[in-house]
Structures are given as structure tokens and as C-alpha cells.
Amino acid sequence: MGFTRVFKSLFVQTLIGVGLGIAVGLYWPSSPDHVGVAEKLEPLGKAFVNLIKMVIGPVIFCTVTVGIARMSDLKAFGRVGGKALLYFEIVSTVALLIGWAVAELFHPGAGMHYVPNAKDAAAVASYAAKAHDMTFSGFLLSMIPTTVVSAFSEGNLLQVLLVSILTGLACSQLGAFGHKIADTLDSVSKVFFAIINMLVLLAPIGAFGAMAFTVGKYGPATLLNLANLVVIFYATSALFVVVVLGSICALCGFSFFKFFRYIWKEFEIVFGAFSSEAALPQLMRKLERLGASKPVVGLVVPAGYSFNLDGTNIYMTLGTLFLAQATDTHLSVIQVVGILLIAMLTSKGASGVSGAGFITLAATLAVIPDFPAGALALLLGVDRFMSHCRALTNFMGNAVGAMVVAAWDKALDRDVLHRELNAGPGLARPADLVPAHDETGPD
């Protein structure tokens, strides 16, 4: 009975999928003139992530619109948004500084004396082209969809968030009719959550395809190549999550480890999907069940996926200094400060972009005069594994951030929070479909 229960765990099933994916990648790899079986399995991983992303737009639209429409005081909307952005910037800056400090302490790229060639430059050319477009004005314009429908069809979270905010504000000014619209959207959102609960059962298959593709295409050497940097990045991210985020949770009056246990199922989904967005809708329901008000969760969590990317920030400064050390490129103090400032901007456009961490790193390196851009090829082989860690760290940062903003705005029911954390997530309650309470806004 206990043995059977273990294999019913989504996490165990996902681990099995990862293990089988590695095995397939090792036994049926690709070669320079042949696409192996493992690489052909890439659509399995992409299909799972795309299935989840398919319903993220409608869920965000319904949740954010309902939350704002039901706010009795629209000043609360501005207050919550301002506090969220302030929190994001503070914690993101800490993440950037930690990545920089670790690189200076351990010098992961020292002694490599790497000189990129023309082939390396060609390998990163497509990423550099995308990075060239990531200007501040370009980022602002990217927030505005061409049409209302295109925001959903293109899957751009920032655009969906903008449409949701405008719709919520409009509903809030329509009186009783606006509340009827909000009630209807609230009911519709439950349908999408029911769909998501079915789709997440496919996570092990998605993990199998993603891992088989990674190992099969880049070869078993990718599991060892640049292992020092990968280990340092994972260790740094774990340190950030446990120490920094753990301390923030303690300051807010709740246990990080109990909180982590509570959202473990969502963590499993991110682990299997290689994408923090895959668990976004489920995370929002869990946070509401913990006592955070729906308007705060509906605004802070989606915004955090573009403005609060802690794992990406650690990667950017750690990766930049690693490449500088590897290519014997000297960085002055002014250049390091400039990198930190630029990274604060470039990381904000990473959400929803394929290879986002790599692209934002390319955008950041563009500010360093005479930096050998081809050096980015050093990270191509292991970026997939580092992307996994970025997704997990970003996910935890946004989960904690939403709870902190809710507590800061006095929109967190402490009694519900402690009762739920002590009881654990539970298995029998259908609360992932129906929130445990219905709060109309912050106090």
C-alpha cells in the first residue's frame, strides 16, 4: 500500500520521467550528421509547457479583473502595486549582488583563458540579435498589445496583465453591472483551474521529453561540462532561497519550511516543466487558501513573473563575471556598477521569452566595451540545466513576494495562514478549484 502510494506522487513520477529521459539521451544521442531519437522527443516537453501556457492568459485575466473589480477603494490598487514594485526592486538587487559576490569569491572562470572564434560568435548571433531589441523603450512598448486578442494569442503575460487591469478598473466603475461581470469571470476561472488540474498530470511525460532532448542533443558531456559553474549557481540559488527568502518569511511571521512544504506540489510542476509559469495558476490558488486576499495575489503574482526574477538576476551577474574571468576581460568598478544597473532593466523583460536568461545576459554584456560576445558560447551547453534552477528560484521568489506584499498591506489573514501551514496542503480538499475564503480586498 505504502509502495503504491509513493508511485502515485507526482514528484516521484516526474523523477522517473527525468531518469528515463537521461537514459534515452545517453543511449540514443544525436550526432553532427544525425538527429537521434532523444532529440526527436523535444516536442513532448514543449507540448506540456504549451498546454499549461494555453490557459494561463485566461486565468490571469479572470483573476486580476475580478480582484480589481471588487476592490472597494481603487487607491488600494495603486498602494499594492507600489509596494510590490518596491519589494521586487529590493530583493532583485540583493539577488544581483549575491551573484556578483559569489563570482568574486570563487572565480569560477579563472584560468580558462578562453578565446572565442568565429564559430562561437555565430552560435550566439541569434541571441545577440534578440538582446539588441531589449531596450527600455522597447520593453515599455512590448507591454501594449496590438489588439486585445493578441495579448492572449501571443501569450505575453505583461500584455495580458495590462488588459486585465484596464478591464478590472472599467468594471469597478460600472456599479452593480460591473460586479455581475466579475462574478461571471470568477465562475469561468474555476473551469480553467479544473483544466489545469488535469493537465499537470502530464508533467512526468513533459519532463521525460525535455531531459531526453537536452542530453541527446548536447551529449553526456553536458552533464559534466562547466560543472563547477553549474554547482556554484545551484548552491548560490539554494542559499538565496533558504537564507534570504527564509529570513524574509521569518520577518513576516511564518515559517519558510512550512510554506515550502505547502506549495511543494507546485514546485514539482516547475521541476518537471522546466518553466516557472507552468505552476502560476495553481500557486495563486494556494496563496489565496493561505489567507492572502485575491486582489493582492491576482496583481502581485503575475507582475512578479516579469519584475521579480531572482534566479535570473543571480545568473546574470554570476554568468557575466564568469565569462569575464574565462576570457581574461578586466572589469573596472564603474563597469561592474553599470552591469548591475543595466541588469536591473534587462531582467524585467525576461518573462515569456524563449531562452530568456541567455538573452538577458547577452543584453547585459552589450554594455561592456570590447567584450568578446562569442564567449557566450561557453554557456550554451549548460544553459538548459541552469535554466532549470532559474525557474525554481524565480518561482519561490514570487511565492514569497506575494505573501510579503499581502502581509505588508494588511491583506493577509494570519489565523488562516497559520492554520493552513500547520495542517499542510491536504489531499481531500478541492481548494485548488474553490478558494477557501472570498476576500474582496485589502483592509
Q: Is residue 143 part of a domain?
A: yes
Looking at residue 426, its amino acid is G
pLDDT (tens digit per residue) in 34-73: 666 777 787 887 777 677 778 777 877 887 787 777 765 6
Distance CA 294, CA 296 (A): 6
pLDDT on residue 220 = 61
DSSP 354-371: TTHHHHHHHHHHTTSTT-
Task: Provide the CATH number for the domain around residue 122.
Answer: 1.10.3860.10
pLDDT on residue 326 = 78
* Number of separate domains in the chain: 1
**Span between the terminal Cα atoms of the chain, in Å:** 47
CA 152 to chain centre: 19
Cell 572589469 belongs to residue:
331
**pLDDT, tens digit only, all 443 positions of the chain:** 455 665 666 667 777 887 888 888 887 776 656 666 777 787 887 777 677 778 777 877 887 787 777 765 667 777 888 898 899 989 989 999 999 999 889 888 777 666 655 444 454 555 555 554 555 566 567 778 888 888 887 767 678 878 888 888 888 888 888 888 888 888 888 888 788 778 777 878 877 887 787 677 766 654 554 577 888 999 999 999 999 999 999 999 999 999 999 998 888 788 776 677 777 788 988 999 999 988 888 888 887 877 788 988 898 888 888 888 877 777 777 777 777 777 776 565 454 444 456 656 766 666 566 666 566 666 765 666 677 788 889 999 999 999 999 999 999 999 999 999 998 775 434 444 334 443 333 33
CA 386 to chain centre: 13
Enclosing domain of residue 293: 9-423
Q: Is residue 436 part of a domain?
A: no
Beta bridge partners of 292: 412
pLDDT on residue 437 = 40
pLDDT on residue 362 = 65
- Evaluate whether 349 touches 306 at the Cβ level (below 8 Å): yes
Q: Is residue 331 part of a domain?
A: yes
Tell me if the pTM is above 0.75: no
Q: Is residue 2 part of a domain?
A: no
Question: 294: buried, middle or exposed (CB in 10 Å: 19+, 13-18, 0-12)?
Answer: buried
Distance CA 198, CA 189 (A): 15
Beta bridge partners of 34: 31
Distance CA 44, CA 273 (A): 10
| Helix, strand, coil percent content, the chain, rounded in steps of 5 | 75, 0, 25
Q: Annotate 239-294 with three-state secondary structure.
A: HHHHHHHHHHHHHCCCCHHHHHHHCHHHHHHHHHHCCHHHHHHHHHHHHHHCCECH
Distance CA 184, CA 372 (A): 55
pLDDT on residue 420 = 93
pLDDT on residue 222 = 47
The CB density around residue 189, as the number of other CB atoms within 10 Å, is 25
